[in-house]
Structure 1
Amino acid sequence: MAIELVLQILEKRYMAQDNHEAVDVLLVGAGIMSATLAVLLKELDPSVRMEIVELRESNAAESSNPWNNAGTGHAGLCELNYTPQLSDGSIDIKKAVHINSQFEVSKQFWAYMVGREGFGDATNFIASVPHMSFVHGKDVDFLRKRQATLSQHHAFAQMEYTEDREVMKQWMPLMMKGRDNDATPLAATRCLNGTDVNFGALTNQLLGYLDSRSGANVRYNQRVVDLDREGDGWIVSIKDERTGASRNVHAKFVFLGAGGGALPLLQMSGIPEGKGFGGFPVSGQWLRCDNPEVVSQHQAKVYAQAPVGAPPMSVPHLDTRVVDGKKSLLFGPYAGFTTKFLKHGSIMDLPKSVRAANLKPMLSVARDNMDLTRYLIKEVMQSMDQRLEALRTFYPTLRKEDWRLEVAGQRVQIIKKDAKKGGVLQFGTELVSAGDGSIAALLGASPGASVTVSIMLDLIERCFGEKARSEGWASKLAEIFPAREKALQADGDLYHKVSTEASNVLGVTPALPQAEVSFA
């Protein structure tokens, strides 16, 4: 058996060398995560040999697709779940400030790319769309406190607050129709520097730019079927879904950026750092309107409070979307449940992910999250009329015929070991990497796409630490990123300088509507 094992290893090594299937970096998944990391690494080291393999027939086919996500440039401007109210009544803004600084880092990278030959125009993927929060009844006091607290930080100094219905009619005319006889207290905040991002178009431009560089390759219909350690790297076995042909690639570094499909691949790798992780899949749907008469009356992303028991990704919001130059409205998301880890995945994804190491955490999460389970069952059982009733809380005078159902992307929330509870359900994203830095996986969901650049910079510092600290890489990073997260959070003057410069390049510098411009 020992001799056979040695022969297998030698055969894999021979195949990789003989067929020239050897790269420095192999990235699994052709979405926004892999595209961002690949371009960053190529900018830092133009000589790096890399390949991206994608299971689907095109890039951005899952969570990065513009109709599979809300397209919100998450910056903490309107998302109420990023600013929880503490037991003493105060508002905790740490998460909002952190996410805001991460999004500003993303903007710096995108602005840098706009200046690179072959990347393309920023207007293809980013648009200026105000971000608003809208509450009623008992939540008015919370929103008032939230704005008062956030506006003390330089990143949110321009946030406006109102309880005046006439002002709200200017901000969100579509949403205020039909409320004249309703005496319920209302409140809203507005940030004019919000954005809508088409992460599918952005992915396409990043990969198009990468494709023009030597030593980079993107292949589609490629399924990773095995991951084996080999020396200082990995032997990755890949099957072509069209032809059935198999090949082996030797990679010094592997990134598992396959969205919901990253967890099974992490488990396949067998690295100890990945043991104990599980996944809880949550599906989603939107109501979509393309009627220009309706769409023209709403120019904002408006977020409200999540229902009790709802996951953070299910915070209701009515959004302006800009996809391929055309505006639409999305409302939702309506959560659902399926055992698939990808929109185009298998119903066996969840059962196959259960391991001895994650069974206890997964059972603990099931025990401790019955409210979430009941909420998902309720969401799945909803009729179209019930979904429209939820929309009426935002848009009272809606017409049923203007709206249709759109299936959103699949999200796999992280389940982690916990010493006290056995396991916890974690919302957000988590980077898991091997101790030697040879492989890394990104797990989780929102606000992942918006803060991709910060996550990938973390990966580079973690897995390419020595190179990242070298003079060449450090100077290039400083060129791309004039200011990183901590500096942006601490220095208001620096924040406004860097943010304004990036916004100008991207064409998303906000301007007041003509009726509100002051000539004093």
Structure 2
Amino acid sequence: DGEVNVAKAIEIFEQFEQSKYFWGYAARNGLIDDPKKFVSPVPHISFVYGQEQVDFLRSRHKGMSAHHFFSSMEYTEDRETILKWAPLLLAGRDDTPIAATKVDGGTDVNFGTLSQMLVEWLGEQAGCGYATRHRVVDLTKTPDGSWGVKVKNLETGRTFYNTAKFVFIGAGGGSLPLLQKSGIEESRGYGGFPVGGQWLVCHKPEIVEQHVAKVYGMSPGAAPTMAVPHLDTRIINGKKALLFGPYAAWTTKFLHKGGSYFDLPGSVRWDNIASLIKVGLHNIPLVQYLIQQGTQSMNTRMGELRNFYPDAKNEDWELIDAGIRVQAIKQVDGDAGIVHFGTEVLSSADRSISALLGASPGASVSVNIILEIVRECFSHLLETDEGHARMKEMIPSYDESLVDHSKAKRQSTLSKQAEKSLKLI
């Protein structure tokens, strides 16, 4: 019917709102000392070029702005307006049709800093502790139903054992190997498909200062959804920089640091080999895309950047390696080899272990993911008056949906409360 389906955008927005509410609670209650250290206000812009893309964005804006989550979203095809929003987009641009949408309530989040703050706060609480520079290398179910956890100290090389009644595997690319070592029935058939990432970075002040936004484009035809190109203002350790990417790359490592090229071969099991083989046979465009991306020259990468910033010069940008996303490969209705570009939460039947697989949408919806695990494995805690009250204090919308238009005022009130706590407004 010519209309763009915006259901996924609405779903992800609501999940991010839960994260924002929790961060606001954390700021108000001393779990984090200064929110400005990890979150900054940055407008989010969608930018397109060419008549086909312009028509798509116009239709998408019509669908999104009709919902109260995105009622403040602006749309324009006017070059002077886009020039004000993001000057670099117009620098040296030809007369190809362009369009953009803008939302002023966007953010830039440093999840590394946020994680460090929360973990350090936990370490100060009675009965809590944490260990850095340690790696869990094995998991074994004990006769009493708990888990034997084999840990290696990466600085001394010493190996020791702990026991745990509940284990959560949230180790990024290291999750699949640990899940396989647990031996739980629910892990059978799962595989991992690693995709490396690279970015172009600019630190030149006279260029960086001209761009204060996250600008998203449209993904290339064969690219996974996580490969949507974007030109971002990033604030890293208090300093502004521009990042453009991501560029995907073929790899067999599951971890950027400390990973091995044998990670992918080592993850092959009898129960997932069919899925892994089918990935190659039935996702040839994706494989070709990854190989093409990984063998690009600097000039080719800069050519993609110039779709956003036509005047970009090679000497002002450098290529850096980023992390590795391990996409979950699973069977869907008996069909093996489905690359799932999302997140998968697996829990054992006895609720003693949960694991997070996949990559996208990523850290921005981490609170919603953990809520899913709490509901699955600790539902008895939420059933008490005390547990319900504490969760409502942390995440006021945890047990309700704010999608319906009748919830517009409540959603706006909760969002502004969190933004004030986070010093975003």
Shorter-chain TM-score bucket reads over 0.9
Query: Alignment partner for residue 273 of structure 1, among 176, 186, 189?
Result: 186
- Kept in 1, the 8 Å contact 2:391–2:398? The answer is no
The correspondence of residues 257-406 of structure 1 with structure 2, limited to 5 A, is 257-344=170-257, 345-406=259-320
Deviation at 1:397, TM superposition (A): 0.9
- Kept in 1, the 8 Å contact 2:40–2:108? The answer is yes
Residue 120 of structure 2 is matched in structure 1 by 208
Gaps of 5+ in 2: none
Residue 124 of structure 1 is matched in structure 2 by 37
- Kept in 2, the 8 Å contact 1:118–1:212? The answer is no
TM-score where L is the length of structure 1: 0.79
- 1:364-404 Cα distance to aligned partner (Å, 9 max, x none): 22211100111111111111111111111111111222111
Residue 430 of structure 1 is matched in structure 2 by 344
SS in 1 for 2:58: helix
Deviation at 1:174, TM superposition (A): 1.2
Q: In structure 1, what residue type is equivalent to 2:376? A: R
Structure 2 residue 133 is matched with structure 1 residue 221: yes
Structure 2 residue 145 is matched with structure 1 residue 232: yes
Change (3 A) 1:118 1:95: closer
- Matched residues in 1 for 2:89 and 2:19: separation? 31
TM-score where L is the length of structure 2: 0.97
Deviation at 1:416, TM superposition (A): 0.4
SS in 1 for 2:131: strand
- Kept in 2, the 8 Å contact 1:119–1:208? The answer is no
Residue 27 of structure 1 is matched in structure 2 by none
SS in 1 for 2:10: helix
Deviation at 1:118, TM superposition (A): 5.5
Structure 2 residue 422 is matched with structure 1 residue 506: yes
Residue 17 of structure 1 is matched in structure 2 by none
- Kept in 1, the 8 Å contact 2:31–2:118? The answer is no
- Matched residues in 2 for 1:142 and 1:366: separation? 31
RMSD value, Cα: 1.2
Residue 444 of structure 1 is matched in structure 2 by 358
Deviation at 1:485, TM superposition (A): 7.2
- Matched residues in 2 for 1:485 and 1:472: separation? 15
- Matched residues in 2 for 1:389 and 1:368: separation? 29
- Matched residues in 2 for 1:89 and 1:366: separation? 33
Query: Alignment partner for residue 196 of structure 1, among 93, 103, 108?
Result: 108
- Matched residues in 2 for 1:341 and 1:474: separation? 38
Deviation at 1:226, TM superposition (A): 2.0
Residue 90 of structure 1 is matched in structure 2 by 3
- Kept in 2, the 8 Å contact 1:98–1:485? The answer is no
SS in 1 for 2:26: helix
Residue 321 of structure 2 is matched in structure 1 by 407
Structure 2 residue 70 is matched with structure 1 residue 153: no
| Identical positions, percent | 48
Residue 66 of structure 1 is matched in structure 2 by none
Deviation at 1:486, TM superposition (A): 4.3
- Matched residues in 2 for 1:432 and 1:448: separation? 16
Please identify, of 424-433 and 230-239, the stretch whose mean Cα deviation from structure 2 is larger. Answer: 230-239
Deviation at 1:207, TM superposition (A): 1.1
SS in 1 for 2:108: strand
Residue 144 of structure 1 is matched in structure 2 by 58
- 1:15-55 Cα distance to aligned partner (Å, 9 max, x none): xxxxxxxxxxxxxxxxxxxxxxxxxxxxxxxxxxxxxxxxx
- Matched residues in 1 for 2:153 and 2:83: separation? 55
Please identify, of 209-218 and 103-112, the stretch whose mean Cα deviation from structure 2 is larger. Answer: 209-218
Residue 23 of structure 2 is matched in structure 1 by 110
Gaps of 5+ in 1: 1-87, 510-520
Q: In structure 1, what residue type is equivalent to 2:124? A: S
Q: In structure 2, what residue type is equivalent to 1:207? A: V
- Matched residues in 2 for 1:416 and 1:315: separation? 23
- Kept in 2, the 8 Å contact 1:127–1:508? The answer is yes
Residue 186 of structure 1 is matched in structure 2 by 98
- Matched residues in 2 for 1:101 and 1:493: separation? 14
Change (3 A) 1:374 1:118: closer
Residue 5 of structure 1 is matched in structure 2 by none
- 1:261-290 Cα distance to aligned partner (Å, 9 max, x none): 000000000000111110100001000011
- Matched residues in 2 for 1:212 and 1:194: separation? 32
Query: Alignment partner for residue 411 of structure 2, among 476, 480, 495?
Result: 495
- Matched residues in 1 for 2:351 and 2:337: separation? 26
Residue 159 of structure 2 is matched in structure 1 by 246
- Matched residues in 2 for 1:96 and 1:317: separation? 17
Aligned residues: 420
- Matched residues in 2 for 1:245 and 1:381: separation? 40
- Kept in 1, the 8 Å contact 2:392–2:398? The answer is no
- 1:105-136 Cα distance to aligned partner (Å, 9 max, x none): 00111011112235210000000000011111
- Kept in 1, the 8 Å contact 2:91–2:309? The answer is yes
Q: In structure 1, what residue type is equivalent to 2:19? A: S
